[in-house]
């Protein structure tokens, strides 16, 4: 390959990406970013009206976009997603597991319903999405899976015990699947941001809470979805074909300062 051709490895033209949690926040912005990089999309979440809004935005890029409503707590619905993707285009090259749910409470106050919703959405659902969409990748001997992790997989913030435990589990699961599925040409990595400025986080990240978080980030600001897109495109593209089982921290120095 000529030196000046290396940047072409980041081009996602002709690739098919499945993005969960695509109705808002990080997942929404990742979906738009992948389309801008050339990928066709299947966008998924529980809320059809929000997905249709994202579809309209993605449509302006000229890329194909399909909407699929799915509750990731239900394995049967995840299998339905797989069949929809297979019957529509026959393959999936990229899976972004962005869906999640969290509550911020002291561990003493976490209810069984809180636990079940967080774990079933953010860990059980993620695993079965990996397996369902990964099976399409296995048929072709190639694929990229990116699981959304967090700096809280390795550091502690009060009130996020269950969330942090799930993200730690995602790190380990990412490594395990990467090793198990490497012979099938499937690369599995995780992307771990620090606190990201999204609409759902704005109420929480205010006043003393925001000050405390910013004091822990050497670069002195929250992350934005745009900060994550370069890493997502890299991990989804041919540029990262020899990268698997890794957790990429996009955190403004949070982990280095822990």
pLDDT number for residue 212: 78
pLDDT number for residue 256: 87
pLDDT number for residue 80: 98
3/107 Cα distance (integer angstroms)? 53
Q: Tens digit of pLDDT for each residue in 74-97?
A: 999 999 999 999 999 999 999 999
Strands (E) across the chain are located at 16-20, 40-45, 65-69, 94-97, 143-148, 186-193, 247-250
CB contact at 8 A, 167 and 233: no
148/151 Cα distance (integer angstroms)? 10
**Which phi-psi region, left, alpha or beta, contains residue 207 (left: φ > 0; alpha: ψ -120 to 50)?**
left
pLDDT number for residue 214: 83
Q: Quick check: is 163 catalytic?
A: yes
76/123 Cα distance (integer angstroms)? 16
Q: Tens digit of pLDDT for each residue in 188-237?
A: 999 999 877 766 666 666 667 777 778 888 888 888 888 999 999 999 99
Among 247, 246, 191, 245, smallest CA distance to 223 is for 191
H or E element, residue 30: helix 25-36
The token duo for 15 is 């690739």
162/156 Cα distance (integer angstroms)? 11
- Give the count of alpha carbons within 13 A of 131, CB side only: 14
Buried b (16+ CB within 10 A) or exposed e, 158-190: ebbbbbbbbbebbbebbbebbeebeeeebbbbb
pLDDT number for residue 201: 62
pLDDT number for residue 207: 65
Strands (E) across 89-241 are located at 94-97, 143-148, 186-193
Sheet holding 94-97, edge to edge: 65-69, 40-45, 16-20, 94-97, 143-148, 186-193, 247-250
Quickly list DSSP for 106-126.
-GGG--HHHHHHHHIIIIIHH
- Whether the per-residue pLDDT at 8 is higher than 90: the answer is no
Q: Which residue has the higher pLDDT, 200 or 61?
A: 61
Q: Tens digit of pLDDT for each residue in 145-192?
A: 999 999 999 998 889 999 999 999 999 999 999 999 999 999 999 999
pLDDT number for residue 199: 63
Instruction: Return phi, psi of residue 116, to 5°.
Output: -60, -45
pLDDT number for residue 194: 87
56/42 Cα distance (integer angstroms)? 13
pLDDT number for residue 239: 96
CATH 3.40.50.720 is the classification of domain 13-250: yes
Of 68, 101, 142, 163, the active-site residue reads 163
Domain ranges of the chain: 13-250
Q: What percent of the chain has pLDDT over 70?
A: 94
Among 111, 204, 119, smallest CA distance to 169 is for 119
pLDDT number for residue 204: 62
Once rounded to an integer, what is the mean pLDDT over residues 110-117?
97
pLDDT number for residue 206: 60
Helix-, strand-, coil-residue percentages of the chain, each rounded to 5: 50, 15, 35
């Amino acid at each position: 390959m000529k030196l000046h051709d290396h940047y072409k490895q980041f081009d996602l033209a002709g690739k098919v990406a499945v993005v969960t949690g695509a109705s808002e926040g990080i997942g929404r912005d990742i979906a738009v970013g992948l389309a801008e990089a050339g990928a066709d999309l299947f966008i998924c979440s529980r809320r059809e009206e929000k997905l249709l809004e994202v579809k309209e935005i993605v449509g302006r890029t000229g890329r194909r976009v399909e909407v699929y409503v799915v509750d990731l707590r239900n394995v049967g619905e995840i299998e339905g997603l797989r069949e929809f993707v297979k019957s529509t285009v026959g393959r999936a090259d990229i899976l972004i597991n962005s869906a999640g749910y969290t509550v911020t409470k002291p561990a003493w106050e976490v209810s069984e319903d809180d636990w079940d919703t967080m774990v079933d959405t953010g860990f059980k659902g993620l695993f079965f999405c990996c397996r369902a969409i990964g099976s399409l990748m296995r048929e072709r001997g190639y694929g990229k899976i990116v699981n959304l992790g967090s700096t809280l997989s390795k550091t502690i913030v009060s009130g996020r015990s269950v969330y942090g435990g799930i993200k730690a589990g995602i790190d380990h699961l990412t490594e395990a699947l990467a090793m198990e599925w490497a012979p099938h040409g499937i690369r599995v990595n995780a992307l771990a941001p620090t606190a990201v400025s999204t609409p759902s986080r704005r109420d929480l990240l205010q006043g003393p809470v925001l000050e405390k978080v910013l004091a822990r980030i050497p670069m002195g600001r929250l992350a934005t979805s745009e900060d994550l897109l370069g890493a997502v495109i890299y991990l989804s593209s041919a540029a990262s074909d020899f990268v698997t089982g890794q957790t990429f921290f996009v955190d403004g120095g949070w982990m280095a300062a822990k």
